[in-house]
Amino acid sequence: MAAGPFNNDKIQEFYRASATDQLMFINNSNSDGQMHSLITFSGRVDAGLMARSIRLSLDAEPVLGCRMTKGPFRLRWQRSDSLDSIDLCPVIETVDALNEALRFMAAPMDTFTAPQIQARLFRSDRDVLCVKMTHAVADGGGFKEYLELLSSIYRHACLDPGYRPVPNSRGNRSPWQLEKHVGLSTLAQSSLHITIPGLEWCFPVTSSDYSGRSFLTAEIGPERSAAIRAYAHGKGIKINDLLLTAFYRALFEVLDPPAGKPLPVTVPVNLRRYMPSGKAGSICSLSGLFIPAINREPGEAFEDTLSRVHEFMDTAKRNKMDLSQMLFLQTAFVAGYMPMSFVTRHFVKQRARALMTIPCFSNLGIIGPKDVNFGDIKVTDISLFGPVTFPPYLDFTVYSFGDTMRCSISYCDTAADVNLVKSLLDDFIREISGLI
């Protein structure tokens, strides 16, 4: 393909939109379609260098400097030739950096407008960098990789003003990159375990007005987080099973569903764990799903709910159900060649819409100072927020910054019961804290 009027002849004009890119784009109708982060520094960064680093990141991962376009049969990414004329990181002088950043986080992004990254630097006595990414171009794992990339470019550019990263123009963005690492036989066997349980109850919708955007966050300090991890270790279970159990019990408390009625929850799984390097070939979406369906048992102790959650998750991991869900979604798109009109008409209405009414519990794992390292200027805090989802769907995100565990909810405050959403976060903290 022609290189076009770009800064590096390795950067192409068009890039294929993977089946997952298209799926994420279609599912944007159920959310604001973007991921959000706030990075707080110990002081002030070099604003000009930060803007240049963001610009260089769009060359390092060229698809991020693209806009989505509609081809004759499918979507594709087209590189923008006007990236150098965009102010990629405006500096906002303010006395209230956090609230200003939250307002920017709530502002919409357009996948059909390049780039797929937006950033603002909010400056008071210290700097807060807000970075957003469209969900169509990457999942939560890809977003974390981007933050690592940006900090690496900034760090290198501090030492070498002429630094330019090599464009990852041919990096594999397709989920099928997993095949050579897990094998076709494993993928085929996992397909025997494809399940999407029926929904019996969910978060209520209070209005058809989906214009509101709100963000909630809570933290569990280092001492308590260490005790929770020690509890999981003592039980011989993964910390994710413990957190998912607390989420289920908080849902039971807040929504008070009928006893014996199962509630499916989507649990995204980072499939990069199957890659030898722990990373994909490029910044992309590389996630599968576990979909446990746990019912409320009145008066049940935490450990008994944990036993049921752990049993499901243990079976799901043995059967590699995360791969089976990925395989199903990719097959539904016939590797991305199915006409978009057919996909929208037959897939979204039947499957994607069903999935998007199920609550989602997303564990992004640990992100630490050594992962997002801007050199001499220290990162003192990182907040991560998933897409603002529309009810009855609800997305609950958990991650750790260093030794501190964090929880966040991005939600539509004009269509969801705000008190229920707040109670869900409070009850989750109470459930998980009650273990120690």
Per-residue pLDDT tens over the stretch 272-308:
999 999 999 999 999 988 889 999 999 999 999 999 9
Same domain, 186 and 131: no
Residues 392 and 281 grouped into a single domain: yes
Residue 330 belongs to domain spanning: 175-433
Q: What are the residues whose beta carbons fall under 8 Å from the beta carbon of 360, sequence distance 6 or more?
A: 265, 266, 267, 268, 386, 389, 393, 394, 395, 396
When pLDDT is averaged across residues 152-162 and rounded to a whole number, the result is 96
User: Closest by alpha carbon to 193, among 290, 308, 261?
Assistant: 290
Strands 360-367 and 379-385: unpaired
Q: Cis bond leading into 292, ω under 30°?
A: no
- 123 CB neighbour count, 10 Å cutoff: 19
Pick the more confident residue, 165 or 181: 165
User: Which residue do the tokens 């270790």 mark?
Assistant: 233
119 & 229 share domain: no
Using the 3D structure, point to which of 159, 192, 216 is the last residue of a domain: 159
| CA–CA separation, 40 and 37 (whole Å) | 10
pLDDT band at 38 (very low <50, low <70, confident <90, very high): very high
Q: Does residue 273 sit in the same domain as residue 321?
A: yes
State the pLDDT confidence band at 3, using cuts at 50, 70 and 90: very low
Examine the pLDDT at 196 and tell me if it is beyond 70. Answer: no
pLDDT the model gives residue 46: 97
Q: Are 151 and 231 in a shared domain?
A: no
DSSP state of 67: E
Inside any domain, residue 8: no
Does residue 350 lie in a domain region?
yes
Domain boundary among 124, 159, 194: 159
Task: Please give the Cα distance from 359 to 348 (Å, whole number).
Answer: 17
In a domain, 165, yes or no: no
* 137 and 184 in a common domain: no
The answer to whether 191 and 396 are in contact (CB under 8 A) is no
Q: Which of 125, 159, 193 is the last residue before a domain boundary?
A: 159
Residues 86 and 208 in one domain: no
pTM as predicted: 0.91
**Radius of gyration over alpha carbons of the chain, in Å?**
21
Residues with Cβ within 8 Å of residue 130, at least 6 apart in sequence: 36, 37, 38, 39, 101, 104, 105, 119, 120, 121, 122
139 neighbors 286 (Cβ within 8 angstroms): yes
The answer on 217 and 109 residing in a single domain is no
The C-alpha atoms of residue 281 and residue 284 are separated, in whole angstroms, by 8
> Does some domain include residue 83?
yes
């910054």: which residue's tokens? Answer: 401
Number of domains in the chain: 2
> Quick one: pLDDT band at residue 51, thresholds 50, 70, 90?
very high
Give the largest CA-CA distance in the chain: 66
